[in-house]
């Protein structure tokens, strides 16, 4: 997905750190790594949190009317579990890996140190209210077919946020 490259390019332009190799590298990372692992994880979350009773109820006519709004037919515990599993994936180590990719493609590999983890942890913790809300929406309202695209659009905004946080 080129969306990750676009988000990173915007962040690089805003922070005055634009570098063509970085843009190309982050686009490739988004297309090959994130584009493969994120949809796979979302399918796993979907299977892991779906119970057999829900599948049968989904076929009832009263439920068919609400199939585009899965949160309306989910118990709140299941919705919370799906949200937490999504947040578990996009954890501080994931953020740090993203920042390491940025450093590598920016030609500043010498800046990679344990301090990146603290930046990632700080960025992750501060963003929890926003990411929890977005993941609640993405994991429980958006159908699985469109979930990766919705997550990619949200991640584009986070791709702007995380590198900017590492600048401060």
3-state secondary structure of 157: helix
List helix spans (H) across 29-143. Answer: 35-48, 52-58, 61-64, 76-89, 92-105, 115-140
Full domain range(s) for residue 86: 3-167
Q: Residue 90 carries which DSSP code?
A: T
- Residue range 132-153: average pLDDT? 92
Query: Which is higher by pLDDT, 1 or 26?
Result: 26
Q: How many domains does the chain have?
A: 1
CB 57 within 8 A of CB 143: no
Write down the pTM of the prediction.
Answer: 0.78
**Structure confidence by residue, pLDDT tens digits, 49-105:** 886 555 555 545 445 545 555 555 557 888 899 999 999 999 999 999 999 999 999
Q: What is the largest CA-CA distance in the chain?
A: 60
Within 13 Å, how many C-alpha atoms sit on residue 99's CB side? 30
The pLDDT of residue 20 is 93
| Crossing angle between the packed helical segments 115-140 and 144-167, to the nearest 10 degrees | 150
């Amino acid at each position: 997905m080129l969306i990750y490259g676009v988000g990173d390019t915007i962040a690089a332009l805003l922070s005055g750190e634009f570098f063509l190799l970085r843009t190309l590298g982050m686009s490739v990372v988004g297309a090959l790594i994130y584009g493969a692992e994120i949809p796979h994880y979302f399918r796993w979350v979907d299977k892991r949190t779906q119970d057999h009773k829900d599948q049968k109820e989904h076929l009832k006519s009263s439920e068919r009317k609400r199939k585009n709004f899965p949160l309306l037919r989910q118990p709140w515990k299941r919705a919370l579990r799906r949200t937490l599993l999504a947040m578990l994936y996009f954890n501080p180590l994931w953020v740090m890996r993203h920042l390491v990719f940025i450093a590598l493609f920016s030609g500043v590999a010498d800046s990679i140190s344990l301090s990146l983890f603290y930046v990632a942890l700080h960025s992750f913790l501060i963003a929890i209210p926003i990411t929890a809300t977005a993941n609640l929406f993405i994991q429980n309202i958006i159908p699985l077919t469109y979930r990766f695209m919705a997550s990619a659009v949200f991640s584009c905004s986070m791709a702007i946020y995380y590198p900017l946080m590492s600048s401060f």
